[in-house]
Structure 1
Amino acid sequence: MLKAFKTEIAPTKEQRMKIIRSIGVARFLYNQYIAHNRRLYKMFQRGILDEKQKHFITANDFDKYVNHKLKIKLPWIDKCGSKARKKVLVNAERAFRRFFSGMSGFPNFKKKTSQDVKLYFPKNNKGDWTIWRHKLMIPTLKQVKLKEFGYLPVGEKVTSGTVSYVAGRFYVSVVVDIDEKSKYNKDFETSYHAVTDGVGIDLGVKDLAIVSDGKVFKNINKSSKVKGLEKRLRREQRCLSRKYEFRKKKGGKTATASANIEKDDFS
């Protein structure tokens, strides 16, 4: 059975730069594909293109354009692997297919500030995506250290993986083919436990839940760590809001001064 696992990694400076550059290329190609199909779709809506004319380009066709034309003009596209580039275009095509079928809205561009661009690393060689206790082998990046231990299944077969960059931190997600009775299958452990007498559960506010057998599950939202993080977040949001209002006010003063100068000059 296939199961997904995710954990934080601690890449070297060189590996971090390679990941960030590759994610940048992936975002650029995703947006290029969206922009191209958006133009074709608008031309079709205006009647410039009819049903017989090609008003949608597939990921496979756009990938050929990238390899034969765009990559020649922009050689830095090679900073991202060919299979990773193809995967990004396939995801973009899937977004359009969902739009055409009415399952979602029109695909949007991916901004640099957004954190939803992931980098796909295919398994090319036998040693790729090998997992050890403290590190794993990622294609093109080689061995990358894990920041957290015990979250990835050691010695299991990885079929594919992605690397993401969120708020200055790097994460790896892997899809692993594991046996149903494997110790890494937590669902199996909880589903096939011995049948015992029932228990009563009391959901509360201070504590998340109190079980009749005496177990108490704490409410993490009431913990000092979470409260401290929420307090810090509110403080930073207030600081950001004040800066925004200051810039807005300063920009308004500059615009007014400029308008007054023009008014005086032409009066």
Structure 2
Amino acid sequence: MIRSIRVQLLPNNKQKTKLFQFAGAARYAYNWALDKQMDNFREGRKLQTDHELRKAFTLLRHSEENKWLLDISNNVTKQAIKDLCIAYKNFFRKQKQPGYIKYSSKKVTHYTRIGKSLTIYDMNGHPKFRSKKNGDFRFYQDNVKIQFTDTHVKLESLAGSKRKNRQRLNWVRLAEKNRIPVRAKYTNPRITFDGENWWLSVGIQISRALKPLRGLFFVCKKQQPAHTEGIGIDLGIKDLAILSDATKVGNINKTRAIRKLKKKRRRLQRQVSRKYQMNKKGDSYCKTSNLIKSEKQLLRINHRLANIRQNHVHQATTAIIKRKPSFVCLEDLNVRGMMKNRYLFIKIQEQNLYEFRRQIEYKAQWAKIPVIIADRWFPSSKTCIACGHVKKDLNLSERIYVCPACGNVIDRDFQAALNLKRYGEAERMISAS
């Protein structure tokens, strides 16, 4: 089993400079390899393999124009080229999937309006060039040469010198102490920059099953007995989740802290927009120091909002798994289709519905609890829990379900959770027989 850990880095100014150089080299190698593959396609040649591209890039590194690449670890650029080849494999695999749409309707409309023809680069899923303007700062570290202590991590070739006093630059301070095991087998270490901080993510191979992380839950505080009955979970917008035992996980976006941050963000966005208009010179915009400061404040607020929502989902999923149910049944939501609703797409996006399901699945795997995903077209809200009647004309505005057959009156979300629990029990019986 591989457990991934993400921890913040605290580099000094010299280390930050080197980290940006490493990220720039990885971006350069990725874009170079993508340009090569695009040329091969245009000229009708077969796409080059990972080995051929890396061999050609090694010759490029030793050329007179690209001597700056010699200061960067070879593993950084090699892995960037390998990432591109993996992206192409995913692109070809996506084309073979049923229902694949070659070009999006918006792109077709746009290209028709401007009088340009679509190319393979515009196909859905095709690898895109990495851009510095979009904040693409990430690179790979060798999983064998990376080293950890309780407080620091050693990155490969960061110092650029073998002198003892220079070797200190290789050791970057970690924001959390004893977060990553010192002696372990590491997989796929990655360094990323989110516009504000540098982060290290690494996978650790573990032979035994892990227990769920400890967490708090503001609704259900009592410790439940081990291996209780199964749980059906209905995800929604009014509340994040409604459980089959009538427990509700509240919507964090309705709290005062979130509303206050969103109000501050709206004002700051207007402020940034006005500054852009004030500094407009012809067709271009001039970025002043105050504008850069305002954008950093806006980025910090966005990170704060994302962290609060992520923490809320972690607390909720951890509390559910700590109850040790016999199974967990979720519905297979079409989140991408739900996002097409122009009235509710913002609220759906803020709920992190898919993230809730992802965390439930991997935490349940740690605790050896089966997770059952109900069919996407299973009428969990429309089916009466008392008599089984399906009310096909149930509108989204009807929050209370009134059964026309037996007269049963129940909250529609709670009924959906009960039906999901019943669905999970039936699936368990089928699998057992």
Same fold, TM exceeding 0.5? yes
- Name the structure 2 match of 1:165: 193
Q: Is the CA contact (8 Å cut-off) linking 2:20 and 2:137 kept in structure 1?
A: no
In terms of mean alpha carbon deviation, does 74-83 or 233-242 score higher?
A: 233-242
Shift, 1:194, TM fit? 2.1
- Name the structure 2 match of 1:105: 125
Choose which of 144, 167, 176 in structure 1 pairs with 2:204. 176
- Name the structure 2 match of 1:136: 153
Aligned ranges 1:46-195 → 2 under 5 Å: 54-73=45-64, 74-103=66-95, 104-125=124-145, 128-132=146-150, 134-141=151-158, 142-149=170-177, 151-153=179-181, 155-183=183-211, 186=213, 194-195=226-227
Q: Is the CA contact (8 Å cut-off) linking 2:147 and 2:182 kept in structure 1?
A: no
Q: Is the CA contact (8 Å cut-off) linking 2:72 and 2:157 kept in structure 1?
A: no
Q: Provide closer, same or farther for how the CA distance between residues 55 and 15 of structure 1 changes in structure 2, counting only shifts above 3 A.
A: same
- Match status 1:22 vs 2:40: no
Counterpart of 2:148, as a letter, is T
1:209-249 Cα distance to aligned partner (Å, 9 max, x none): 5779897745332344433332232223222322344455x
Shift, 1:153, TM fit? 4.6
1:33-59 Cα distance to aligned partner (Å, 9 max, x none): 111211221122xxxxxxxxx432223
Counterpart of 2:268, as a letter, is E
Shift, 1:200, TM fit? 8.5
Shift, 1:175, TM fit? 0.8
1:101-121 Cα distance to aligned partner (Å, 9 max, x none): 444533211110224452110
Shift, 1:158, TM fit? 1.9
1:118-155 Cα distance to aligned partner (Å, 9 max, x none): 21101334xx33252x3333333433222245654565
Q: Provide closer, same or farther for how the CA distance between residues 23 and 219 of structure 1 changes in structure 2, counting only shifts above 3 A.
A: same
Q: In 1, distance between residues paired with 2:247 and 2:189?
A: 37
Equivalent residue of 2:148, what SS?
Answer: coil
Shift, 1:171, TM fit? 0.6
| Unaligned segments of structure 1, at least 5 residues | 45-53, 188-192, 253-267
Q: In 1, distance between residues paired with 2:129 and 2:69?
A: 18
Q: Is the CA contact (8 Å cut-off) linking 1:129 and 1:158 kept in structure 2?
A: no
Q: Is the CA contact (8 Å cut-off) linking 1:2 and 1:176 kept in structure 2?
A: yes
Q: In 2, distance between residues paired with 1:136 and 1:100?
A: 37
TM-score for the superposition, normalised by structure 1: 0.72
TM-score for the superposition, normalised by structure 2: 0.47
- Which structure is higher in RCO with an 8 Å CA cutoff and minimum separation 6? 1
Structure with bigger strand share is 1
Shift, 1:173, TM fit? 0.4
Shift, 1:26, TM fit? 0.8
Counterpart of 1:114, as a letter, is N
Q: In 1, distance between residues paired with 2:237 and 2:48?
A: 54
Counterpart of 2:140, as a letter, is Y
Equivalent residue of 2:188, what SS?
Answer: strand
Choose which of 228, 232, 235 in structure 1 pairs with 2:267. 235
- Name the structure 1 match of 2:290: none
Counterpart of 1:81, as a letter, is S
1:160-181 Cα distance to aligned partner (Å, 9 max, x none): 3110011121010001001333
In terms of mean alpha carbon deviation, does 149-158 or 174-183 score higher?
A: 149-158
- Name the structure 2 match of 1:47: none
| Unaligned segments of structure 2, at least 5 residues | 96-123, 159-169, 215-224, 284-433
The number of aligned residues is 233
Q: Provide closer, same or farther for how the CA distance between residues 130 and 65 of structure 1 changes in structure 2, counting only shifts above 3 A.
A: same
1:1-21 Cα distance to aligned partner (Å, 9 max, x none): 112111211112222111110
Equivalent residue of 2:143, what SS?
Answer: coil
Shift, 1:157, TM fit? 3.0
Q: In 1, distance between residues paired with 2:46 and 2:233?
A: 57
